[in-house]
Chain A
Amino acid sequence: MGLEQKLGNTGVVTTTLENAVNWSRTNSMWPMLFGLACCAIEMMAAQAANYDMSRFGMELMRASPRQSDLMIVAGRVSQKMAPVLRNLYDQMPDPKWVIAMGDCAACGGVYNNYAVLQGVDEIVPVDIYVAGCPPRPEGLINGVVALHNKIKSERFAKWK
């Protein structure tokens, strides 16, 4: 088409900086190893052999928030846990993303009561909501792929 053909076989690929950066962000994403309740079991199932999230480059779970860039809120968030969760989010380095896995994290789920936060988006900004109680591992993988697509279309700045 353009430059590639003129350059010939020199081993150079041209792209935009945005594309290159977003591509690398999607393919080296480190989720935080952070399970809360029932959904954490399905998150573990998604990591294990049958569903194998490493197909999407998501196998390296980091236990420390300082090393991770994706927080999967897997389960219900109680009022006592909420400030801890926010603290963990604040410790993650930018750029960072959040997946609210399951109905409890998305909106409180079946628990409309004094103890459960009615959706984790009350305390942290959520990028992807995954429905289900708990979502199947395929559901979580679908959420992860949706997040990848979202990241790929991210812009650095508004071009005038």
Chain B
Amino acid sequence: MREIQEFTLDELKHLFTPQAITGETMVLNMGPQHPSTHGVLRLILELDGEIVLNCVPDIGYLHTGIEKNMEAKTYQKAEVLTDRMDYMYTMGNNLVYCLAVEKLTELKSPARADAIRVILLELSRLQSHLLWIGTSALDLGAMSVFLYAMREREMILDIFELVSGQRMMTTYIRPGGLWRDVPAEFNDAVKQIVDIFPKRIDTYEALLTKNPLFMDRTKGIGKIDTKTALAWDVTGPTLRATGMAHDIRKANPYCGYEQYDFEIPTQTTGDIYGRYKVRVEEMRQSVRIVEQALNKLPFGPVRDNNPKFVPPPRSEIGVSMEALIHHFKLWTEGFTPPVGSVYSTIESPRGEMGLFLESDGSPKPYRVHYRTPSVPLLQIMPILSKGCFVADLIGIIGSIDIVLGDTDR
């Protein structure tokens, strides 16, 4: 076990004002164990009384070595690790990996698989935003929103459990389609969510949107403009709250998002309240997309039938020699995509999530690198928090919706 990393002020003096060295301002450590840092984030703050002068995020407390670990596993096994990265958007982590592998191998996901993927991705976005609205309102002192949001989140997790057998770490989306078709109860369960959710989102809005305490704590705090946000590579709701309508689902559609009718919500304020409004509107748009996808859910296969890459159905293994051979080859040595490198990208609830995948022609990826949206969001923390109160800092951390598993990998 290593020692706790301790810094002297002398080593960090380039991050703070000269007054920190003389003791006129106070340097305070916040985290990694703190109820409002949403995981194991450590912030080193320089305070002048109650005012934050500087804020230096220290990441790496959840570094798991997922990218390196994936290089040691075959393509099928590596996918299991992707779930545990951004653990609030597990379906999306699977998808960005599958899109990359599909690009590399020219596998094609069938229309039914694409529609089911879209439904599950939007449900994932909903559950991520639900947890966000619950915890960030909790940070600002509104307890009841958390209990309501978690109640609805359980409904979505029940659907994940229905299709995949797991509540969070589903690994349901696979290269070339899905693991298996959805069970018969799926349509009714999703229909129930589509019916209930608009009313439930109204409930959250009734608790927060015009709540004077919430407005006082959020309006005009943690501001950022479009130019700065773009310079720091910020994407997602934080960018959209500054007025720029950028969404990968529109800019670079995947899984047939171009077929669905939805809007990109934007706000112009760029503050915490703007981000809140954008996310709430995104939840409504997600419900719209789920409804459309469910109404025109096509029938057909849910997996590409290329036996070199996609395992054959269980029923064929007993009767077909080829199927048995393919199954044996796939689960002993894995499949071998051609040499090359690809980049795939999707819109996660936090912004653009990308994956760079390099193959050297072996059954294991040569290099996996994720471009995760939480890292730029943490990089703008010093800009957002400059000059605010310590209490507002809590609201700012909640509003940018970081997931530390996503940051540190």
Q: Report the stretch among B55-63, B250-258, B266-274 that lies at the interface.
A: B55-63
Q: Report the stretch among B29-37, B204-212, B376-384, B386-394 that lies at the interface.
A: B29-37
A110 to B171, CA, bound (A): 14
Q: Report the stretch among B107-115, B146-154, B361-369 that lies at the interface.
A: B146-154
* Residues 48-71 (chain B) with a chain A CB within 8 angstroms: 60-66, 68-69
The contact string, 1 if C-beta is below 8 Å from chain B, for chain A 97-122, is 00000000000001111111100001
Count of chain B residues with a beta carbon within 8 Å of a chain A beta carbon: 40
Residues of B within 8 A of A38 (CB): 84, 87, 168-169, 405
Count of chain A residues with a beta carbon within 8 Å of a chain B beta carbon: 41
Does B5 sit at the interface, judged by CB under 8 A?
yes
Residues of B within 8 A of A45 (CB): 150, 153-154, 157
Q: Across the two chains, which residue of chain A brings its CB closest to B169?
A: A133
Contact of A41 among B32, B68, B80, B87 (CB under 8 A): B87
Residues of A within 8 A of B404 (CB): 37
A87 to B4, CA, bound (A): 9
A123 to B60, CA, bound (A): 19
The contact string, 1 if C-beta is below 8 Å from chain A, for chain B 19-53, is 00000000000001111000110000000000000
A63 to B262, CA, bound (A): 41
B146 with A48: CB separation less than 8 A:
yes
A36 with B150: CB separation less than 8 A:
no
Q: Across the two chains, which residue of chain B brings its CB closest to A81?
A: B61
Residues of A within 8 A of B131 (CB): 41, 44
Does A84 sit at the interface, judged by CB under 8 A?
yes
A111 to B409, CA, bound (A): 12
Residues of B within 8 A of A136 (CB): 167
A119 to B203, CA, bound (A): 42
Q: Across the two chains, which residue of chain A brings its CB closest to B35?
A: A63
A78 to B404, CA, bound (A): 12
The verdict on A113 contacting B35 (CB below 8 Å), with A76-B64, A83-B3, A84-B4 known, is no
B80 with A110: CB separation less than 8 A:
yes
A36 with B168: CB separation less than 8 A:
no
Contact of A49 among B62, B135, B150 (CB under 8 A): B150
A78 to B168, CA, bound (A): 21
Q: Across the two chains, which residue of chain A brings its CB closest to B42?
A: A84
A80 with B39: CB separation less than 8 A:
no
A-binding residues in B (CB < 8 A): 1-5, 32-35, 39-40, 60-66, 68-69, 80-81, 84, 87-88, 131, 135, 146-147, 150-151, 153-154, 157, 167-169, 404-405, 408
Q: Knowing that A83-B4, A110-B80 touch, tell me 19 more A-B residue pairs with CB under 8 angstroms.
A: A33-B35, A37-B39, A37-B84, A38-B169, A41-B87, A41-B131, A42-B168, A45-B154, A48-B151, A50-B154, A75-B62, A80-B60, A81-B32, A83-B3, A84-B32, A86-B1, A114-B65, A134-B168, A136-B167
Question: Which 7 pairs show the lowest CB-CB distances between chains A and B?
Answer: A48-B150, A115-B65, A38-B87, A63-B35, A83-B4, A113-B65, A81-B61
Jot down 23 A-B pairs with beta carbons below 8 A, ordered by A.
A33-B35, A37-B84, A38-B87, A38-B168, A41-B131, A44-B131, A44-B150, A45-B154, A48-B151, A78-B408, A79-B2, A80-B5, A80-B60, A80-B61, A81-B40, A110-B69, A110-B81, A110-B84, A113-B68, A113-B69, A114-B68, A116-B65, A117-B1
